[in-house]
Amino acid sequence: MRAAATGSSARKNRQPVIAAPPQTESPANNPQPRSEPERRTLVLTAFPAEADAVLARTTLDPDPSVVVDGRHFYLGELGGKKVVVAMTGIGMVNATNTTQAAFDHFTPDTGIAIGAVVFVGVAGGSGRTSIGAVAVPARWTSDDGQTWHPVDAGMLAAANSLTVDLKGSGGMVDPAIACGLLNSILRIDLRRTPQLFTGGDGSSDDNNNGTAFPTVPLGGWVFGPQPLRAPDFSPLFTGNFFQAIGPFLAKGLIGNITGYLASSIPPVDAVDQETAAAQQVADSYGVPFLGIRGISDGPGDPLRLPGIPFLQFFVYGQIAADNAATVAEAFLQTWAPASAA
């Protein structure tokens, strides 16, 4: 309209019209369409050995590490899919907080969006599942079965189509810290071939009384604050230890002692301390979710170990973590998400 008014005034005064230079609108006035963010699958684990088993199968990006409020996320490719790998820490609070941190950070503004969530780790088993097996439950509960939340149907169908070779023998210690000689000595043989079970139920809970379980500086392959294969691994990293140790000692320690002494395994395929918590966050964003859990304790113990809390876990946890990561990689190779991941 300004150009038309200028032309009219020029004709009235019989003056030559000088063409104005073309106007370039500012980006604020003429916003460019934002390119679609790269959609990646968030692959969660709870403790270092689980994360190391996943990272061992992941091709990391050239600049893979992203740190959000002290939480470390690793960008790479697993099973042909772009992924963000993270270690949540043990327990429901840690799983909730890390999953939420991922959704808060990875938004279109960062160029990456979370397109799906897969939790990969170990669990207690019962019923159909025995030590070394891998369970991919169809639904999860966090309140002892009062309510159930189904996983994504398409992801479950992809898992149900898998044919995988699971390990029946292996070392007891995370290969990231154990030398070859140690792994050859501390070796377990289940004397059978573990199976993959899809469908059924999974249950998550902990005895931390609403507190975050603290990581332990230099805590190794179970309690450490960082995957041992992490590209930014530092022995000085303390994780959430100093923030979490006080509340945990005040509220969570006694709950763990009394809870484990009186605990019984629910009759479900997988029992853990994180999956259902992460699922609730994913569900709140309408993002597809799947849990994959290798069985580290329960029936099928060839050594017939006594029922001391955690004893089976420390003996069979590495085999279970490796088998769960194997299934996760095979799943991502097979699964075709609704939109590109």
Q: What is the CATH number of the domain that holds 144?
A: 3.40.50.1580
Give domain status of residue 9, yes or no.
Answer: no
Q: What mean pLDDT is predicted for residues 124-152?
A: 96
Query: For position 196, what pLDDT does the model report?
Result: 98
Say if residues 69 and 25 touch (Cβ distance below 8 Å).
Answer: no
Say if residues 137 and 200 touch (Cβ distance below 8 Å).
Answer: yes
pLDDT at 117 over 90: yes
Give domain status of residue 134, yes or no.
Answer: yes
Give domain status of residue 117, yes or no.
Answer: yes
**pTM for the whole structure:** 0.87
The count of domains in the chain is 1
Q: What mean pLDDT is predicted for residues 55-68?
A: 98
Give domain status of residue 11, yes or no.
Answer: no
Beta strand spans in the chain (E)? 38-45, 59-68, 71-78, 81-87, 112-124, 134-136, 139-141, 149-150, 169-171, 187-189, 196-198, 201-204, 270-272, 289-297
Give domain status of residue 148, yes or no.
Answer: yes
Domain extent, residue 325, equals 37-334
18-59 tens-digit pLDDT? 344 444 444 444 544 557 899 999 999 999 999 999 999 999
Say if residues 222 and 317 touch (Cβ distance below 8 Å).
Answer: yes
Give domain status of residue 154, yes or no.
Answer: yes
Give domain status of residue 7, yes or no.
Answer: no
- pLDDT category at 64 given cuts 50, 70, 90 is very high
Give domain status of residue 162, yes or no.
Answer: yes
**Which of 143-157, 170-184, 202-216 is least confident?**
170-184
pLDDT at 204 over 80: yes
- pLDDT category at 99 given cuts 50, 70, 90 is very high
Q: What mean pLDDT is predicted for residues 274-278?
A: 98
